[in-house]
Copies of this chain bind each other. A is one copy, B any other.
Amino acid sequence: MPARVKAPPPREVKGRRWGPRAAQKGMGSEQVPGTEPSPAAAPHFLQSMREWGGGQASWVPAPLAVGGGARPPCPGGSPRPFGFSQAEVKPEPRLGAGLAPARTGLACAFTPLSPAPRLAFGRERTGSPSRRRRARDGARGPGSRPSLSAPQTAMLPRGCPRALGAAALLLLLLLGFLLFGGDLECARRAWGGAGSFLCALAPRIPQDGRPRGAAALDRDPPTDPGGHNRSDCVLPRPLPPRCELLHVAIVCAGHHTSRDVVTLVKSLLFYRKNPLHLHLVADAVARNILETLFHTWMLPAVRVSFYDADEPQPQVSWIPNKHYSGLYGLMKLVLPGALPPDLARVIVLDTDVTFASDIAELWALFAHFSAPSCPPLPDEQVIGLVENQSDWYLGNLWRNHKPWPALGRGFNTGVILLWLDRLRQAGWEQMWKLTATQELLTLSATSLADQDIFNAVIKGHPALVQPLPCVWNVQLSDHTLAERCYLEAADIKAIHWNSPKKLRVKNKHVEFFRNLYLTFLEHDGNLLRRELFGCPSPRPPEAEQLQQALAQLNEEDACFEFRQQQLTVHRVHITFLPHEPPPPRPHDVTLVAQLSMDRLQMLEALCRHWPGPMSLALYLTDAEAQQFLRFVEASEVLSARQDVAYHVVYREGPLYPINQIRNVALAQALTPYVFLSDIDFLPAYSLYDYLRASIEQLELGSRRKAALVVPAFETLHYQFSFPTSKAELLALLDAGSVYTFRYHEWPRGHAPTDYARWREAQAPYRVQWAVDYEPYVVVPRDCPRYDPRFVGFGWNKVAHIMELDAQEYEFLVLPEAFTIHLPHTPSLDISRFRSSTTYRGCLQALKDEFLQDLSRHYGAAALKYLTALQQPEAP
C-alpha cells in the first residue's frame, strides 16, 4: 500500500546551494575538551516546579491519560477549554478500521464517581517528599512498608457489574502504585473488549529535583523504564493504540542532510508497526530530493508533507548562531507555528538520529505528560526531552566556557516530544523569544543552536519539561557520558550522532554504534515497502494501478521477468551528492548517461573530457550507493566538480532497466540541450565548446527540430592516446588503432552517419534514418523519453532514435564532433542474457509491441518503420 505523497513532478532547482556539510543538521554537538562532571552544579527541579505551579499540578487517573488527550480535559466543563485545540479534541486520523476503540470511546467506558477525579497517587507531585520517597522505595527495598491509605476517589466502568469490578480495578491500580512507588501507571481498558492494558513508567521529576536521566548519568540506581530485559526491573513496554497515526517532524536542508534523512527514515520504518506521517520542513534542495524519493519509494502507510523552511526563517535569522547547523539549526523553535495548526503532537528528530526500536514506544511517552487541568495552568508539561549526556551545560568544560543557562546538565534536543497545541496555548513563541533576547544581552550567540534556547526557556519554566528515559537519545558527542546510560540499559532505543565528527567520533563503543548505523545506511530500502497487516491504508491511485497491473501478469509467461521489470517503480534519489545547477545559458548542453558500479572508473576520465554540466544516473543498491559516495570523496577530480549531478536509481529486479535509468538522467538535465551519450564513451576534448557553438550557429532552438549526430568510434586498447583533433583521429583510424564504432560486430548501428562523408565534411550534413540506426545525438531537453519497456539489453537506443525520426527530427552530422568508445569487460547483465533464446524471444515481442504503439501513435507516418523492419533482420 504505497503512501500518499505530496509530490509534484521533479522541477528545476536554481536557487541556493548548500555546500558540503554546510547545512548538515544535528543539534547539540560539542567539540570541546572534556572534564569530569560536577554533580553539585545540578540545580533542583522541584523548587522551580513549585514556583511554576507544581503545587497545583493535578493528575487524572492513568486510564484517561493513555493514548493521550483525545477526551475533554474537564469532564462536564466547558466544551473547548483553552489549552486544547480542535485537533486534540477530535480523534486523530487513523488509517484503517482496526479493532482499536476511538479514544473518545473511553469517555463512555469510564465515568468519574467523584467530581474531583484525583487518585491518591496523583499527589506524588504535591505530597510531602518523605511520603513520596516512601512510596518510591516500596518498589525497591525489601524493608518498605507500603501504605494502604485509601484512594479518595474511584472510577468504575459504566455499564459493568460494579461491585467486584470496581474493587478489582481499584485494588489493582492501588497495588501497582504501592509496588512501584507511583512510577507505574497501570491502566486497564478491558471491560467490553474495548480497552487495552498498558503498563508504563512515567519518568517524573524526582525528589532531588533532577531529571531521571541525570540520575542515570551520576550512577544512581538505574531507573530507565525503557530498558527491558533487566533483572531488577523487567517492565512491560508501553505502546500506543494499534494503528494510531504517529507524527514525526524533521528539519532538513541541503544534499548531505537529505541523505541523512533517508537513513533515519529507514531505521524508523524498519521497526515501526504504525502508520507514519512525516512532516519535513525542508529547503528547496532537500524538498526536491525527498519529494522524488518518497514519491518513488511508494511506502505503505507513510504520508509525507513538506513545509518551506525558508518561510519561517526570518523568525530566527536575528539570532547569532555559532553551531554548524546554521540557521536551519534554530528552526525547531518555530515548529509550533510552522506545522499545521490542527497538528496536536509531534516527535521532532534531528537528522543524525538512528532508531533501534519502534518509535511507537517513544510516542507512547506522551501519555506521561501531565494532563491538562481545570483551569489550565501556565506550565503544563509540553516538551519531552532526554537529559544532555555531557557536562557542557555545567559550564566547567574549559576555562571561560560560558554555556547558556540550563537545569543541571540540561537537555538535548535531538529527540523531542512536542505537544504542539499546548505550546501554542502557552504562548511558546513569546516565551522563547523573550528568553533568547534576554540571554543574548550577555551571551554573544548560541553555541548549540535551538538547544541553547530550549534549555534557557526550561531553566525558567522547569515544569514545561517531561524528562524522557536516556535510551531514547543516546548521545555520541565527543565527550559523551552516554556510557552511564547504555551500559546499564541493554536496550538502546535511539542513538544520536551529535558530534561534528559523526561516525568518526572517538568512543570506546563506537564500533557498536557504527554497525547499528551502517545497518540502516546500507539496508535495501525496497524491503521497507512492507505493508502493515494490522492497519490497512488506502493506496494512492498510481500504486493501486501498479498493483493491478502486476496482479494481471502471468507468472508462467516466458517473458514474465521482462513484464515485471517494466512495471517496477524504482526508488530514485536525485542529486545524491552536492550539486550546483548550471547558470541559465541558451545554448548550454548537459551530457546525459547512465552507469552502474562496474563503470565508476570511467567517471574521472569523463570529467576530464567534458568540462560542462552532466546528469548521470547510477543504478545501484543502497550499499553500492555508499561505495560510490566514498569513491567520489576519494577522488580529487570528482569532488572538485559541482556541475555533475549524480542520481541514484535503486536496483530492483533481475533485468537492467536501462531506459528507465536514462530517463531519470534526462529528466534531471537542467540546460536547454542534452548530449545523450553512454558511459563507456569519451567525447573529444573540445566537444562541449563545439556543441554549444554549433547549437548557436544552427539556431536550433528557433529554426528547426534537429538531432545533432556526434560520430562514434572505438578503440580496443586500454592504453590509448586520445586524439586531440579530427586530423589525429583520422590518422589513428588509418593506422587501425581506432575503428568506427562496432565496425566489426554491428556496422549498421552507425552506418547511416556516413563516415566516408564525415572524413571530408566541413559543414553539418543531413542524413536519413535507416533500420537499426543508433547514433549519439544532441537534442533539446524536451525530446521524447526513452521507451521504458526496453529492459535488459537490445533495441533501447534504436527505439529512441526511431521515435525522434517519427517526430520529424532532422539528423545533422557535425563535421568536427567525435566520441570514442573505450574497451571494457562485457557487463554481467549482457553476458547473462545474450546467449538466452528466451531473452531474444522476449526482446522480439517487445519490439513488436513498440512498433504497434508507434503505428497507433504516428499513423501512416510509422508505416516506413514496419516496411523497413520486414527486411531480413540482423541479430
- Chain A: residues with CB nearer than 8 A to chain B? 98-101, 139-146, 148, 157, 159-161, 164-165, 168, 171-172, 175-176, 178-179, 188, 190-199, 221, 228-237, 239-243, 273-274, 358, 360, 486-492, 509, 512, 515-516, 518-519, 522-524, 526-535, 597-601, 621, 623, 630-631, 634, 654, 716-719, 744-745, 823-826, 828, 831-832
Q: Is the pair B196, A232 in contact by a Cβ cutoff of 8 Å? A: yes
Q: Are B171 and A175 in contact (CB under 8 A)?
A: yes
- Asked if A527 and B518 sit within 8 Å, CB to CB, the answer is yes
Q: Which residues of B contact A832 (CB under 8 A)?
A: 631, 634
Please name the 5 residue pairs, one residue from A and one from B, whose CB atoms are nearest each other, closest first.
Answer: A236-B236, A100-B231, A490-B534, A142-B192, A196-B234
Contact B524 A522 (CB under 8 A): yes
State in angstroms the CA–CA spacing of A823 and B823 once bound together.
Answer: 9
Q: Is the CB of B192 within 8 A of A141?
A: yes
A193:B140 contact, CB within 8 angstroms: yes
Minimal beta-carbon separation of A460 from chain B (angstroms): 36
Q: In the complex, what residue of chain B is closest to A105 when comparing beta carbons? A: B231
CB neighbours of A491 from chain B (8 A)? 273
Contact partner, A230, options B139, B171, B509, B534, Cβ 8 Å: B534
B237, A236: Cβ atoms under 8 Å? yes
What distance in Å separates the Cβ of A394 from its nearest Cβ neighbour in chain B? 25
Q: What are 16 contact pairs spanning A and B, CB under 8 A? A: A100-B231, A142-B191, A142-B193, A146-B168, A171-B171, A229-B273, A229-B358, A230-B242, A230-B534, A234-B241, A490-B533, A515-B527, A519-B523, A598-B825, A601-B825, A634-B832
Of B175, B188, B228, B597, the residue contacting A828 (CB under 8 A) is B597
> B168 near A142 (CB under 8 angstroms)?
no
The interface residues of chain A, by DSSP majority, are classed as loop
Please give me the residue from chain B that is nearest to A529 by CB atom: B515
Cβ-defined contact, A157 with B142, below 8 A = yes
- Taking the nearest CB of chain B, how far is it from the CB of A768, in angstroms? 31
Min CB–CB distance A422 → chain B (angstroms): 25
Given contacts A229-B360, A231-B242, A512-B533, 12 further A-B contacts (CB under 8 A): A142-B191, A193-B221, A229-B239, A229-B534, A509-B533, A518-B524, A630-B654, A716-B716, A716-B718, A718-B823, A719-B745, A825-B825
Are B530 and A512 in contact, CB atoms less than 8 angstroms apart? yes
Provide the residues of chain B in CB contact with A141, threshold 8 Å: 191-193
Contact among B193, B197, B242, B515 with A490 in the assembled complex (CB-CB below 8 Å): B242
Chain B nearest Cβ from A638, distance in angstroms: 11
Q: Which of B230, B273, B600 contacts A99 (CB 8 A)?
A: B230
When chains A and B are docked, how far (Å) is the Cα of A511 from the Cα of B719? 48
| Bound Cα distance A234, B824 (Å) | 59
**Quick check: A534 and B234 within 8 Å, CB to CB?**
no
Please give me the residue from chain B that is nearest to A520 by CB atom. Answer: B527
B148 touches A487 (CB 8 A): no
Supposing A490-B534, A512-B531, A534-B490 touch, asked if A172 and B161 sit within 8 A by C-beta, the answer is: no
- A98–B234 alpha-carbon span in the complex (Å): 13
| Copies assembled | 2
Once bound together, how far apart are the Cα atoms of A168 and B175, in whole Å?
Answer: 6
Known: A164-B148, A529-B515, A825-B598. A179 touches B175 (CB 8 A): no
Q: When chains A and B are docked, how far (Å) is the Cα of A860 from the Cα of B178? A: 82
Q: Is there an interface contact between B600 and A828, defined as CB atoms closer than 8 Å?
A: yes
Give the residues in chain B near A535, CB-CB below 8 Å: 490
A228-B237, A535-B490 known; A828-B99 Cβ under 8 A = no
With A145-B161, A161-B143, A825-B825: A231-B196 Cβ-Cβ less than 8 Å: yes
Residues on the B chain within 8 Å of A230, using CB: 99-100, 196, 242, 534
Q: A146-B164, A179-B190, A623-B623 are in contact. Are A199 and B236 (CB under 8 A)?
A: yes
Kindly report which residue of chain B lies nearest to residue A517, judged by CB atoms: B527
Q: Do B601 and A826 touch across chains, with their CB atoms under 8 A apart? A: yes
Please report the C-alpha to C-alpha distance between residue A188 and residue B824 in the assembled complex, in whole angstroms. 69
C-alpha gap A237/B236 in the complex (Å): 6
With contacts A141-B192, A518-B527 known, is A534 near B489, CB below 8 A?
Answer: yes
- CB contacts (< 8 Å) of A719 on chain B: these are 744-745
Nearest B residue to A101 via CB reads B231
Residues of B within 8 A of A631 (CB): 828, 832
A198 with B143, Cβ < 8 A, contacts A512-B533, A719-B744 known? no
Asked if B229 and A139 make an inter-chain contact with CB atoms under 8 angstroms apart, the answer reads: no
A143–B193 Cα distance when bound, in Å, is 10
Distance in angstroms from A33 CB to nearest chain B CB is: 18
A833 CB, min distance to chain B CBs, angstroms: 9
Which residues of the partner chain B approach A489 to less than 8 Å between Cβ atoms? 533-534
Chain B neighbourhood of A193, CB < 8 A: 140-142, 221, 232
**Min distance, Cβ A831 to any Cβ of chain B, angstroms:** 5
Most buried by B among A140, A229, A240, A529: A229
Q: How far is the CA of A832 from the CA of B631 in the complex (A)?
A: 8
Query: Chain B: which residue is nearest A830 at the CB level?
Result: B601
Task: Look across to chain B and name the residue whose beta carbon is closest to the beta carbon of A243.
Answer: B231
Which of chain B's residues have a CB closer than 8 A to the CB of A526?
Answer: 515
Q: Tell whether, in the assembled complex, residue A231 and residue B98 are in contact, meaning their CB atoms are under 8 Å apart.
A: yes
Do B235 and A533 touch across chains, with their CB atoms under 8 A apart? no
- Tell me, rounded to whole Å, the shortest Cβ–Cβ distance linking A654 to chain B: 7
Among B190, B229, B630, contact of A274 (Cβ-Cβ < 8 Å): B229
Minimum C-beta distance from A46 to chain B (A) = 25
In whole Å, how far is A481's beta carbon from the nearest beta carbon of chain B?
15
**Residues of B with C-beta under 8 A to A515:** 526-530
The answer to whether A231 and B623 touch across the interface, beta carbons within 8 angstroms, is: no
Q: Which residues of B contact A826 (CB under 8 A)?
A: 601, 718
The smallest beta-carbon distance between A197 and chain B, in angstroms, is 5
Residues of B within 8 A of A100 (CB): 230-232
Q: Which residues of B sit under 8 angstroms from A718, Cβ to Cβ?
A: 716, 823, 826
Nearest CB in chain B: distance from A89 CB, A: 20
Task: Give the chain B neighbours of A101 by CB distance below 8 A.
Answer: 231
Residue of B nearest to A200 (CB): B236
Question: Which of A140, A233, A631, A719 neighbours the largest number of chain B CB atoms within 10 Å of its CB?
Answer: A233
State whether B274 touches A486 (Cβ < 8 A). no
Question: Cβ of B487 and Cβ of A533 under 8 Å apart?
Answer: yes
Residues of B within 8 A of A233 (CB): 196-197
| A531→B489 CA distance, assembly (Å) | 14
Known interface pairs A197-B233, A229-B242, A241-B231; A601-B527 also in contact (CB < 8 Å):
no
Distance A398 CA – B823 CA, assembled complex (angstroms): 61
- The listed residue (B178, B240, B623) touching A621 by CB distance below 8 A is B623
> Which residues of chain B are within 8 angstroms of A654 by Cβ–Cβ distance?
630
A35 CA to B164 CA in the complex, in Å?
Answer: 47
Contacts of A824 in B (CB 8 A): 824-825
Tell me the bound Cα distance from A530 to B172 in angstroms: 40
Residues of B within 8 A of A512 (CB): 530-531, 533
A13–chain B nearest beta-carbon distance, Å: 30
Least Cβ–Cβ distance between A512 and chain B, in angstroms: 5
Decide: B231 and A99 in contact? CB cutoff 8 A: yes
Chain B's nearest CB lies how many Å from the CB of A791? 16
Q: Which residue of B lies closest to A158 (CB)?
A: B142
Q: How far is the CA of A719 from the CA of B743 in the complex (A)?
A: 13
Q: Which residues of B contact A198 (CB under 8 A)?
A: 234
- In the assembled complex, which residues on chain B have CB atoms less than 8 Å from the CB atom of A745? 719
Complex: how many Å from CA A325 to CA B865? Answer: 57
- In the complex formed, the residue of B with least CB distance to A165 is B146
Using A198-B234, A231-B241, A600-B828 as known contacts, say yes or no to A524 and B99 having CB atoms under 8 A apart: no
Contacts of A601 on B, CB cut-off 8 Å?
825-826, 828, 831
Q: A487-B533, A519-B527, A630-B654 are in contact. Are A239 and B231 (CB under 8 A)?
A: no
Question: What is the CB-to-nearest-CB distance from A504 to chain B, in angstroms, rounded to a whole number?
Answer: 9
Closest residue on chain B to residue A826 by CB atoms: B601
From residue A221, how far is it (CB to closest CB) to chain B in Å? 7
Once bound together, how far apart are the Cα atoms of A833 and B146, in whole Å?
Answer: 70
> How many angstroms between the C-alpha atoms of A535 and B486 in the bound complex?
12
Inside 8 A of A231's CB, which chain B residues have their CB?
98-101, 196, 241-243
A482 smallest CB distance to B (angstroms):
11
What are the residues of chain B within 8 A of A175 when measuring CB–CB? 168, 171-172, 175
Which residue of chain B lies nearest to A488 when distances are taken between CB atoms in the complex? B534
